Chain A
Amino acid sequence: MKKKLSALISALLGLVVYTSCNAVESGQPAPKCEIAALGSSSATDTSRYQGKVVYVDFWASWCPPCLKAFPFLNTLDYDLHDKGLEVIGVNVDENISDANEFLKNHASSFVVGSDTKGVCPKSFGVMGMPSSYLIDRKGIVRLVHIGFRESDREELRHSIEKLLGDNDQISSASNTENLNHHQ
């Protein structure tokens, strides 16, 4: 009886571990994610932005912290777009009219797309709402952030600016390398 019980418990634990294993972690390549047009943005996919630092945010109209994150995403796009940052908001509402209604009241300056089938969040292994992924110029995930609080602003912005700076250095270093190679 004890053996059966322990087998059942370990099977349940295994299931929990299995579900959390699917999540994309820092250092792993970002999965390709195709998103449909939404609001004023046209259809796109995350692999189109290779060579840019990409901040992907999964949001839904029914999620209050997602609403809180919206002004932060707008600020990021406004301040850092010219420095090579692309902010992409992936809406995961099952009913697209909910997302459109949300966007009527909350303007977004960044790229917004829709994934009603939940393919993108599944491939990223989203663990909570909102979830954001910071992807470097080579397509590698550098930061995974679940949830959003006002106090997270500074830390997130610091990480993004650091990555933008790092990549500048990397690209300038590789350019110098290429120049030396050609000489």
Chain B
Amino acid sequence: MKRVKWTNAGGAFCLVLALSGCTSVAPWERGNLAKPIMAPDPAPLQSSLRVHVYASREAAGAATFGAAGGGCGCN
């Protein structure tokens, strides 16, 4: 019983700790978040080229790119 209580307290502590990292950002304060470097994929052209090259060398179609691979690197 005592162990369960400690587990609950630990869980609550972790929850509070995690929530303390959350904050609301006002719409006019999103300048830094709007920078291209903050995007999930900051360089989409570069990553699509990488996927293309990788997929062609792997001789299999990449799920993300959709091009069929032939191993020749010419697709």
What residues of chain A have their CB less than 8 Å away from a CB belonging to chain B? 19, 58, 60-63, 92-95, 98, 118, 121-122, 126-129, 131
Question: What distance in Å separates the Cβ of A34 from its nearest Cβ neighbour in chain B?
Answer: 16
Kindly list chain A residues whose C-beta atoms are within 8 Å of the C-beta of B34.
62-63
Asked if B27 contacts A121 (CB within 8 A), the reply is yes
Asked if B24 contacts A118 (CB within 8 A), the reply is no
Asked if A94 contacts B27 (CB within 8 A), the reply is no
Please give me the 5 A-B residue pairs with the lowest Cβ-Cβ distance, nearest first: A92-B28, A62-B34, A121-B28, A62-B31, A129-B27
Kindly list chain A residues whose C-beta atoms are within 8 Å of the C-beta of B28.
58, 60, 92, 118, 121, 126, 129
Bound together, the chains give a CA A131 to CA B28 distance in angstroms of: 10
Asked if B26 contacts A94 (CB within 8 A), the reply is no
Bound together, the chains give a CA A11 to CA B11 distance in angstroms of: 20
Q: Which of A63, A93, A95, A118 contacts B26 (CB 8 A)?
A: A118
Bound together, the chains give a CA A183 to CA B27 distance in angstroms of: 54
Q: Kindly supply a per-residue 1/0 record for chain B positions 6-40, scoring 1 wherever the CB is within 8 Å of any chain A CB and 0 otherwise.
A: 00000000000000000010111111101100000
A-B contact count (CB 8 A): 33
What residues of chain B have their CB less than 8 Å away from a CB belonging to chain A? 24, 26-32, 34-35
Bound together, the chains give a CA A61 to CA B30 distance in angstroms of: 11
Asked if B35 contacts A128 (CB within 8 A), the reply is no
Asked if A121 contacts B26 (CB within 8 A), the reply is yes
Kindly list chain B residues whose C-beta atoms are within 8 Å of the C-beta of A92.
28
Given contacts A94-B32, A126-B28, 13 further A-B contacts (CB under 8 A): A60-B31, A62-B31, A63-B34, A93-B31, A94-B29, A94-B31, A95-B31, A118-B26, A118-B29, A128-B27, A129-B27, A129-B30, A131-B27
Asked if B35 contacts A62 (CB within 8 A), the reply is yes
Asked if A98 contacts B31 (CB within 8 A), the reply is yes
Kindly list chain A residues whose C-beta atoms are within 8 Å of the C-beta of B31.
60-62, 93-95, 98
Question: What distance in Å separates the Cβ of B4 from its nearest Cβ neighbour in chain A?
Answer: 13
Asked if B24 contacts A126 (CB within 8 A), the reply is no
Question: What distance in Å separates the Cβ of A130 from its nearest Cβ neighbour in chain B?
Answer: 9
Bound together, the chains give a CA A92 to CA B27 distance in angstroms of: 10
Nearest CB in chain B to that of A94: its residue: B31
Question: What distance in Å separates the Cβ of B5 from its nearest Cβ neighbour in chain A?
Answer: 14
Question: What distance in Å separates the Cβ of A170 from its nearest Cβ neighbour in chain B?
Answer: 33
